[in-house]
Structure 1
Amino acid sequence: MQVLKQAALFVRTNLWIIPLGLLLGWALIRYLDPAPPRVLVMSTGSETGGYHRFGLALQERLAEQGLTLELRSSRGSLDNLQHLLDPDSSVSIALVQSGTSLLLTPAEQRRLVGLAALYHEPLWLFQRKGLEITHLDDLRSLKVSVGSEGSGTWAVVRSLFQARDDESRLLELNGGAWQALAGRASLDALREGTLDAAFFVLPASNALIAEMVANPELELVSLRQTEAFSARLPFLDTLQLPEGLLDIGANVPAEPISLLSPVATLVANERFHPALTSLVLEAAREVLREGNLLDKPGAFPAAQPLELTLSPEADFYHRQGVPFLQRYLPFWVASIVDRYVVLVIPFIAIMLPLLRSMGPLYRWRIRSRVYRWYEQLRRIDRLLHSGAIAGELEREIQALHQLEDELSRVDVPLSYAHELYSLHLHVRYMIKRLEGLRTQAG
């Protein structure tokens, strides 16, 4: 029974910690990041294009991990960027050709983050056979297609002319001698002879590249100054196309070709849950594992080249790989553990000192049941010291006897009994002292 009483006292003394703990837990949960969604919306490109094919492969990989990837077709990179920036859109990630985001305002660029470079999409310049194009200056007197305005091809070509401080020539289409045509229209015009040369930004596996390579009237141009351009434009790589790479039987190209190449990049907005970064990038790594004609196996996804700021989670992935927990646990389990570790650590850090205070509070509560009576003894002591006790002797002696009776009913744990009995001795001492004064006065 005694143990139960003391346990009840201990609980009553520390009841305050329960609402405090609940309040703290609520606050931490309230500001904890929400769980990652099970559905992700991605903007790709035309349903017959390479971006959409990559999206389908990524969709299949993510489905194996329990994440549904919904694909939205679009007109291309610039359209994808607009989907990302549209507050009413459900798109949270998109495929964007590097360099295209330079068409956005700085404020719009700050709303987006880069996740990874995925694969090279070279800038191809094909000419009619017999021409000798080696520099951009050689295009001034020719009929050239520079890509449809707002397209990925247009964005890269525009960057090249900006680097030369000659952007106005492009914007004015060289006084009307150049045309802003899409890929298929450019190829048709080259075949018909209404164009002398045309720019294309396409992966090496694209059917248009195969058609141009097979056409004996067309030649692939090897531009000079590619290293200079890539040094000034970090979102471009310089690629060396070895002899015969595109068609080893026909030996196309007949000699090594130097190309500038943007890359397909994965871009996200504020709607993208950062916890999904490693899951998406690991799935992309599986899709790209085998590489292609231009990219070695395992080269992508990569952190560069990107013109947008790399997200912190993507930066961690590219430097250290999959987070520790995800190496040993399924993603969704690791995500829950990771989120609640973030919750538990500050909870423990705050609650541990509070829990440690429970013992001292209990001791204070027990001792206060004893020490509060000392105030009466101190008061009598002050009366004795001031000499004002004479008229109060009987009343104070009677009060001390009552105090003795009350102390006999005070219940404290055995470990604190010595303090209670010390008080008994002090009360008895004061009674004898007052009784001695009463005898002297009588």
Structure 2
Amino acid sequence: MRRILRDLKIMLLTNLWIVPVVAALVGALFYFVAPPPPMHARMATGSVTGGYHAFGERLQEELAQHGFSLELVESAGSEANLAKLTGDEVELALVQSGQELTLTPEQRSTLNSLGVMYREPLWLFIREGVTFERLADLMPLRLAFGSSGSGTQAVTAALLNANRIDPTQLSERWQALGGRRAADALIAGELDAAFFLGPAENSLIQRLSAEPTLRLASLRRTEAYLARLPYLSQLQVGEGMLDMAQNTPDSNIVTLGPVATLVASEGFHPSLTPLILEAAKTVLKNGNLLDPAGSYPAKPPLSLNTLSEADYYYDKGLPILQRYLPFRIASLADRYIILAIPLLVLLFPLFKAIGPIYQWRIRARIYRWYKHLREIDQQLYKGKLNSDIGAEIVRLENLEDELARIEVPLSYSNELYELHMHLRYMIERLSAYQRRTTAEPQVG
């Protein structure tokens, strides 16, 4: 066993050259591979009381369990979110479908959609006693159609424009008002009707649904609207769906609404896509009053580019490694495995060459002494040997002692002993040559 360990030690010392070679190859692997994805991102939501912000908080909590920090950035609404995305102020934002159509083609090319998170119904609350059949019936009323730059105003403006109604011409009665201010004014009787946009579970929508002086209106001619505004979708709301105690709505109604899409800027790291979408899936797994469980996230509309990582997620789910490993470890493995393949291709012939190189280095430790023996042999043959033969003999004897200290594997011992024999043979030849030259009479 001791001899085996000794041979192993010799082999390792002989092949130490491979350590810097492998280190250089591994260093090159880590140098050329792209850095791992960051574990932090900023997401523009909307006002604190809005549905976007509520969803952002739930997504933030879920991502925190995976060590990912999501910073929520408040904004005035969907239009402001787009501005923050194109201005590189945030990496992610919730955007109302259809809003992207306001951007130039160059601006749209810098954005990528990760998917639809949920539907956003448009709610029209009117006071009891107000007659409503079509949007034109709102013209003589005191109406709030959404604050400037908000998603509510964007949808209502599109619907009104389809009816060739210009809100600016009705500024005496119509107000660019939305959110809590519009709700307070409507409940206080300062408004006859108001539009709101958001999930049915939104606290503001629930507050209005519980108000006995208000009722929820149904939109008619929805197919005509969808033909003109394809980024909207139709939603069926059953009787009592929003508030069973107040029976809101008091009958089955139909409304329209865009979808909330999660959009990424150029600064978003694509490798984070599965992590974000899986967290969103967890947040949305139970669905809501209008969206069945497991419906979202879903494939995004075609108005924006979609990341290939998002397409893969919707088609096949999480990448294989991320199904079993934490995101950080799986992400690194995904990146480095791809580059490890060419590294192994390079290392295979390298390790294959270890055997021949090892044999050459071991034999070189033995054969380097033969060069000197060959020189002496040639000088003897040509009669040109140095006159100081005694010093040469002493040198060879010292070499013989040095050879006794050389360590070689057991399998190469025969070559070492052959060198000992040849060295002793040369010492004896030189000694005989010295005696002969000493015995010859000096001439002159």
Provide closer, same or farther for how the CA distance between residues 148 and 22 of structure 1 changes in structure 2, counting only shifts above 3 A. same
Q: Is 1:200 equivalent to 2:196 in the alignment?
A: yes
Range with greater deviation from structure 2 (277-286 or 245-254): 245-254
Q: Which residue of 2 aligns with 1:295?
A: 291
Matched position secondary structure for 1:115: strand
Pick aligned residue for 1:277 from 254, 273, 276 = 273
Q: Which residue of 2 aligns with 1:320?
A: 316
AA of the residue aligned to 1:152: G
Return the alpha-carbon distance in structure 1 between the equivalents of residues 174 and 314 of structure 2. Answer: 41
Q: Which residue of 2 aligns with 1:338?
A: 334
Q: Is the 8 A contact 1:46 1:73 kept in 2?
A: yes
Q: Is the 8 A contact 1:133 1:223 kept in 2?
A: no
Q: Is the 8 A contact 2:300 2:306 kept in 1?
A: no
Q: Which residue of 2 aligns with 1:95?
A: 94
Return the alpha-carbon distance in structure 1 between the equivalents of residues 302 and 232 of structure 2. Answer: 9
Q: Is the 8 A contact 2:209 2:246 kept in 1?
A: no
Q: Is the 8 A contact 1:234 1:305 kept in 2?
A: no
Matched position secondary structure for 1:53: helix
Q: Which residue of 1 aligns with 2:73?
A: 72
Pick aligned residue for 1:311 from 307, 322, 326 = 307
What's the C-alpha RMSD, in Å, of the aligned pairs?
Answer: 3.7
Provide closer, same or farther for how the CA distance between residues 27 and 161 of structure 1 changes in structure 2, counting only shifts above 3 A. farther
In structure 2, the gaps of 5 or more residues are: 1-14, 358-444
Return the alpha-carbon distance in structure 2 between the equivalents of residues 143 and 264 of structure 1. Answer: 29
Return the alpha-carbon distance in structure 1 between the equivalents of residues 311 and 133 of structure 2. Answer: 38
Return the alpha-carbon distance in structure 2 between the equivalents of residues 39 and 175 of structure 1. Answer: 44
Pick aligned residue for 1:183 from 179, 183, 189 = 179
Provide closer, same or farther for how the CA distance between residues 273 and 85 of structure 1 changes in structure 2, counting only shifts above 3 A. same
Q: Which residue of 2 aligns with 1:386?
A: none
Q: Which residue of 2 aligns with 1:160?
A: 159
Q: Which residue of 2 aligns with 1:382?
A: none
Provide closer, same or farther for how the CA distance between residues 342 and 316 of structure 1 changes in structure 2, counting only shifts above 3 A. same
Return the alpha-carbon distance in structure 2 between the equivalents of residues 259 and 31 of structure 1. Answer: 53
Matched position secondary structure for 2:64: helix
Q: Which residue of 1 aligns with 2:361?
A: none
Offset at residue 107 of structure 1 (A): 2.3
Provide closer, same or farther for how the CA distance between residues 146 and 31 of structure 1 changes in structure 2, counting only shifts above 3 A. farther
Offset at residue 281 of structure 1 (A): 0.9
Q: Is the 8 A contact 1:147 1:181 kept in 2?
A: yes
Return the alpha-carbon distance in structure 2 between the equivalents of residues 328 and 339 of structure 1. Answer: 16
Return the alpha-carbon distance in structure 1 between the equivalents of residues 302 and 280 of structure 2. Answer: 16
Return the alpha-carbon distance in structure 2 between the equivalents of residues 54 and 39 of structure 1. Answer: 18
Range with greater deviation from structure 2 (46-55 or 221-230): 46-55
Return the alpha-carbon distance in structure 1 between the equivalents of residues 179 and 131 of structure 2. Answer: 22
Q: Is 1:227 equivalent to 2:223 in the alignment?
A: yes
Return the alpha-carbon distance in structure 1 between the equivalents of residues 352 and 94 of structure 2. Answer: 56
- Count of matched residue positions in the alignment of Structure 1 and Structure 2: 351
Q: Which residue of 1 aligns with 2:59?
A: 58
Provide closer, same or farther for how the CA distance between residues 232 and 357 of structure 1 changes in structure 2, counting only shifts above 3 A. farther
Q: Which residue of 1 aligns with 2:147?
A: 148
Matched position secondary structure for 2:174: coil
Return the alpha-carbon distance in structure 2 between the equivalents of residues 116 and 133 of structure 1. Answer: 35
Return the alpha-carbon distance in structure 2 between the equivalents of residues 158 and 346 of structure 1. Answer: 57
Q: Which residue of 1 aligns with 2:397?
A: none
Q: Is the 8 A contact 1:265 1:306 kept in 2?
A: no
Q: Which residue of 2 aligns with 1:384?
A: none
AA of the residue aligned to 2:159: L
Range with greater deviation from structure 2 (327-336 or 45-54): 45-54
1:379-390 pair list within 5 angstroms: none
Q: Is the 8 A contact 1:173 1:179 kept in 2?
A: no
Offset at residue 258 of structure 1 (A): 0.4
Q: Is the 8 A contact 1:115 1:268 kept in 2?
A: yes
Q: Which residue of 1 aligns with 2:166?
A: 169
Offset at residue 356 of structure 1 (A): 12
Return the alpha-carbon distance in structure 2 between the equivalents of residues 265 and 85 of structure 1. Answer: 16
Offset at residue 199 of structure 1 (A): 1.1
Offset at residue 302 of structure 1 (A): 1.1
Q: Which residue of 1 aligns with 2:105?
A: 106
Matched position secondary structure for 1:142: coil
In structure 1, the gaps of 5 or more residues are: 1-10, 363-442
Identity %: 49
Pick aligned residue for 2:205 from 209, 217, 223 = 209
AA of the residue aligned to 1:47: V
Q: Is the 8 A contact 2:50 2:198 kept in 1?
A: no
Offset at residue 98 of structure 1 (A): 2.5
Offset at residue 305 of structure 1 (A): 4.8
Matched position secondary structure for 2:262: strand
CA offset digits 1:376-398 (Å, max 9, x no partner): xxxxxxxxxxxxxxxxxxxxxxx
